[in-house]
Structure 1
Amino acid sequence: MLTIKISNCNSVDEATIGIAEGALNIKYGPNGLGKSTLAKAIVSQIRGDGSLQNLVPFKNRGKTGVGAPTVEGIDNLKSALVFDEEFVQQFAFQKDEVVKNSFEIFIRTPEYLAEIAEIDALLAGIKKAFADNADIGQVVGDLKELREAFGKSSKTGAIPKSSKIHKAFGSGNKIANIPDALKPFETFIKSQEPAKWIAWQIKGNEFLQLEDRCPYCSTALTETKQKETVLAVEKEYDANAVGHLNALKGVIDRLGKYFSEKCRDNLDKVTKAKIELTAQENSFLTSLKADIDGLIEKLEALRTMSFFRCETSRRSAIA
């Protein structure tokens, strides 16, 4: 049994391990313990190709003569292989390494093929349903878009104010609830693409500094109230937020038939609220996001089940 001392390699200041020569040595432990670092250090020292210096700890980088990586106690070892995931991918599944086409030789047996055929037969109906039904693809896409709109939840699980859904509905839906002063623009605000009109209208405001005339049609804004009405669009609306609102409203409308009646009622309150969302409505959105995450996970599992099962069979055969 060789006693090997490893110092100053990545996050390992000093470690001592025992290695039996000419045998398979298995070292196991939780992630982040340093197993890969120790293995790399030993192999690098044996190879003598200078790669050991790649393991210099971050705290010692740029310093000369301080804490250089060292490996002691392996002078008699001439070679070593590390059997890890990288090794398996490199040698067991690559057709041009060591044993050519090893998957075909060692794993693709008649029993393996029979098992895969049985799995494929069981999943044939599910695969056909996903392939032939465009509605399923639309639903999955809509659910993902809605999930992304929630953004990354904080530690408390709250919907962040920077998320699309908060920007769209957090302060109330001003598309469904147009301020009285902006009623003259109702046709444009409730059009198919209100965000484009709002961005276009706001862009003209800078020219109102030159003269009290509409920058687009040159109509004189003779009354102060007329100019205030035009400027009020910029005060009340943000083109990006309106764009998010319009897109999400379409997604929610398409998904509506898949939600329970209670969920639809709550969503209706959120998407048509006149004022800032209440704590109860925010709590509902948080729960909805969790439900959507779970549903997407299940749908994706169904779509990829065949591949997953095949991969599981391959890896089980190797183990």
Structure 2
Amino acid sequence: MPFGVKPLCTSCKISYSPIWRKGASGEVLCNSCGLKQSSGISLSNISSNVKAETGPPIQTNAPVKNGSTQAPNSTSISSGSGMPVLRKSSRIKPTKKAPPVFAKSLSTKGKGRRVIFKKTPPSKAPPSVATFVTGESVFHKDQYYQVGDVVSLVDHDGGVYYAQLRGFLSDQYNEKSAVITWLLPTVHSPSNVFDPNTYILGPEEDLPRKMEFMEFVCHAPSDYFRARDAPYKTVSLEPNLCYIWTSIGPKVTVTPTIDEIFGMAPDTPAPTSTDKSVTKAKLERERMSREIARNKEKLRAERRQIKLESLDS
């Protein structure tokens, strides 16, 4: 229909309806008349019956039971069944409490897929939650760290302090931290190098520190600095062969000699023994070594002979 023209029901002649419908021949019908026509009731029969049964207006001033009087210009139109026929006024506005309208399924036929997202309210991204992953080992700055390793830290004044690692933390941004236990020096601790035999356990920290402020010193078991006379033993009975006592990095260290390890001077002569049992054991070892060498030479000659025979054949 063109804009600006108000629709009018061809059956009941009202200009207001929540839904306008079209009849079988294309006429404009209101919602109630359209429902009646779709249910099989003929609108022409209804309108003719209403006109035939409707009489002239009746004027009366008789009082009503509740004490009110009926208006002189009021009309009473009744059908054959005795029920009054009411018409909706065009001034009636819909109430605020309208029945709930259920969302219909969107049809994307002939439309872009963007229409699917226009009907849904925008959703906010969930806030990021800090998550930490604990572990007993971590790889940081080309260095492999384990629980029990010794690291060094430098304060603002340039002093070097040593600590032992107790655990590791890694967050979602791959930032690594460690919980440490301070190592306290004793009177026998050297000032320029780290000697683990001269350090004792100190206070334990509860808050982790970033590993970018730590420098690797050496590997050590986690219970290396525990008291040996403690009531609860921490050293396991099984041998632990998984510890690396040297640095993984490209560092060259001088291996100490046996005399330096045991604190012996290089010019100190080795003690001599005149015991007969020691001499006898020494002679026995020499005899066994000569016999082993003889057997090796014999075996080598046999292999050479076999090789020559195979070449001649």
Pair in the same fold by TM > 0.5: no
Question: In proportion to residue count, which structure has more strand?
Answer: 2
Question: In proportion to residue count, which structure has more helix?
Answer: 1
Q: Which has more radius of gyration?
A: 2
Higher relative contact order (CA closer than 8 Å, sequence separation 6+): 1
User: Normalized against structure 1, the TM-score is what?
Assistant: 0.14
